[in-house]
Amino acid sequence: MSDDFKPEHAAAFKRALELALSYRERSQEIPPRPTLPLADLRAAFDVGLPDEGRDPVEIIEALSAAAEPGLIGITSPHFFGWVMGASHPVGTAAEFLTAAWGQNAAVFQCSPSAAVAEEVAADWLLELMDLPRESAVGFTTGATMAGFICLSAARTEVLRHTDWDLEEFGLTGAPEVKVFLSEEAHATIHSALRYLGFGERQKVMIASDDQCRMRADDLAAKLPQHAGPKIIISQAGHINSGAFDDFAEICKLARDHKAWHHVDGAFGLWARAAPNLAQYCEGIDGADSWSVDGHKWLQVPYDSGFAIVKNADALKRAMDISASYITADADDGRNPTHYGPELSRRARGFAVWATIQALGRKGIEEMVARHTRCAQHLASRVSEEPGIGVLNDVAVNQVAIAFGDENDAPGVRDKYAQDVVAAVRQENTSYVGGAVWKGRQIVRVSIISRTTDERDIEQLADSLVRAWRKVRAAN
Ligand SMILES: *Cc1c(COP(=O)(O)O)cnc(C)c1O
């Protein structure tokens, strides 16, 4: 054994693995919500800055002891709080190796293996989601950054078509780009637009229907009002309703108006991998770019997102980093930095490569279909209870639940929903979150944890009904 890797380091590796194993083996029983008060959690971590390095095994044990009581049960099948995947065990094992190898996936020459793993995983992703095979794929932290990356390629390209060289002249004095997006667009799309230099004045907000889908007729009416360069942003999988925009129609409008069409498909694009749900994504391959998460429905460990752009050159123009010390030889493979804003970063492709193989094409199909079945079952279970209503047509894995009826004032109904969230979390057998649906407070259930099945849904439905009866009795 070499000097730099000492027996105590090996012991720390092994102890970390044992603790990780023990945590995962208990994930069925662990309450999904931490119960330790914040002050205690702080005290557990705040051990004082040491002057000397501490014993490696001691550090790992102290970390586990301090962190565990404050962990949220995202890997458990009872977690429905946000749209969050459950870190597949095999992807997680690949992350152990990734960390141990200490690779920097900046460019091909920094880590040929990291680059090739991403190259192969990128092809698999395009195949699974049936997107144009010539597309370039950037491996990034999540759908927020994936949206930013895709929209920066869009911005470069729509300006280039007006003969404006963005890379040379910047945005100052450029023709005004208008961005057409739904009033129901995800908050992170607005953030991405802000990072890219677009303000409120450049946004044209499109009305949505009762399921939070962008209204293609409103888009058709508003597009001709602007002569300059245009970007359209549609959505596969709305955060509350799970609904899908009409991609065939929006793609046609984008073509007619020479607009770049970006799809925010953070979780919903995975519906395309399940044949019985693929109809929702009909025509989606006609868009120009797609942002998708790895760490949501695909269950890749955090963090993992994909920026997919059909025109690879547009993405490279927007993202490439060049410096005298970043060299590429003619026979080098894919250079990761062409496809994203980061230089040094974790080798994200290994876990994606491993997770896709662990699930397989059939496993992904089965999981997406099961979550959808579970969502429909939950909707019918809770709807049987007087005073509970489901607001969305349950298309995929999201269920939007409202409480109270016509006789209750809106403020009272909002409070019911908030109190039900609190009561379910108090019981701590399942974890749900709140959200606002067209001005009304709801309980939002996201069924997206890898192993969640019908039994977990029964437990959740029981908890929701118990919570509602308690809340109603107390009001
Ligand atoms: C989760 C989500 C995002 C943001 O993704 P992150 O992975 O959290 O960055 C964007 N759009 C939609 C529709 C989402 O569900």
Provide, rounded to the nearest whole percent, the portion of the chain with pLDDT above 90. 93
The answer on pLDDT for 322 being more than 90 is no
Pocket test for ligand 1, best of 193, 264, 295, 302 (most atoms within 8 A of CB): 264
Helix (H) or strand (E) holding 462: helix 454-474
Q: Which atom of ligand 1 is nearest to the CA of 145?
A: 9
Question: Ligand 1 center to residue 306 CA distance, Å?
Answer: 11
DSSP 250-280: HHHHHHHTT-EEEEE-TTGGGGGGSTTTGGG
Provide, rounded to the nearest whole percent, the portion of the chain with pLDDT above 70. 100
Coil, helix or strand at residue 432:
coil
**DSSP-derived pairing of the beta strands 203-206 and 136-140:** unpaired
Pocket test for ligand 1, best of 83, 84, 186, 348 (most atoms within 8 A of CB): 186
In the predicted model, what is the mean pLDDT of residues 153-163? 96
* Sequence-separated contacts (24+) of 320-326 with Cβ below 8 Å: 326/106, 326/107
293 in ligand 1 pocket by Cβ < 6 Å?
yes
267 in ligand 1 pocket by Cβ < 6 Å?
yes
Q: Whose CA is nearest to atom 7 of ligand 1?
A: 142
Question: Ligand 1 center to residue 13 CA distance, Å?
Answer: 33
Alpha helices in 68-165 (DSSP H): 89-101, 112-128, 143-160
Question: Ligand 1 center to residue 145 CA distance, Å?
Answer: 9
Q: Whose CA is nearest to atom 2 of ligand 1?
A: 266
Q: Which atom of ligand 1 is nearest to the CA of 186?
A: 11
The answer on pLDDT for 3 being more than 80 is no
Distance, in Å, from the CA atom of 9 to the CA atom of 11, rounded to the nearest integer, reads 5
Contact 79, 449 (CB under 8 A): yes
Q: Which residues contact 39 (CB under 8 A, 6 or more apart)?
A: none
- pLDDT of the residue at 161: 96
Pocket test for ligand 1, best of 82, 144, 193, 444 (most atoms within 8 A of CB): 144
Task: Indicate the pLDDT class of residue 321, thresholds 50, 70 and 90.
Answer: confident
Q: Which atom of ligand 1 is nearest to the CA of 144?
A: 9
- pLDDT of the residue at 28: 86
Q: Which atom of ligand 1 is nearest to the CA of 235?
A: 13
For residue 280, the cross-strand partners are none
Nearest-10 crossing angle of helices 410-427, 454-474: 130
In the predicted model, what is the mean pLDDT of residues 411-426? 97
396 in ligand 1 pocket by Cβ < 6 Å?
no
186 in ligand 1 pocket by Cβ < 6 Å?
yes
305 in ligand 1 pocket by Cβ < 6 Å?
yes
Alpha helices in 330-409 (DSSP H): 349-383
Question: Ligand 1 center to residue 6 CA distance, Å?
Answer: 42
Pocket test for ligand 1, best of 141, 182, 184, 239 (most atoms within 8 A of CB): 239
In the predicted model, what is the mean pLDDT of residues 70-89? 96
- pLDDT of the residue at 4: 87
Question: Ligand 1 center to residue 330 CA distance, Å?
Answer: 37
Structure tokens at 360: 């397989």
Q: Whose CA is nearest to atom 1 of ligand 1?
A: 266
310 in ligand 1 pocket by Cβ < 6 Å?
no
**DSSP-derived pairing of the beta strands 398-403 and 178-182:** unpaired
- pLDDT of the residue at 2: 58
Averaged pLDDT of the chain = 96
239 in ligand 1 pocket by Cβ < 6 Å?
yes
Q: Which atom of ligand 1 is nearest to the CA of 146?
A: 9
Of 320-329, 352-361, 374-383, where does mean pLDDT reach its minimum?
320-329
The answer on pLDDT for 197 being more than 60 is yes
143 in ligand 1 pocket by Cβ < 6 Å?
yes
**Residue position matching structure tokens 């269920």:** 399
Structure tokens at 233: 């942003």
Mind listing the pLDDT tens digit for each residue in 15-59? 999 999 999 999 888 899 998 999 999 999 999 999 999 999 999
- pLDDT of the residue at 320: 86
Q: Which atom of ligand 1 is nearest to the CA of 267?
A: 15
- pLDDT of the residue at 1: 52
Pocket test for ligand 1, best of 233, 269, 290, 293 (most atoms within 8 A of CB): 293
Contact 83, 264 (CB under 8 A): no
Mind listing the pLDDT tens digit for each residue in 90-143? 999 999 999 999 999 999 999 999 999 999 999 999 999 999 999 999 999 999
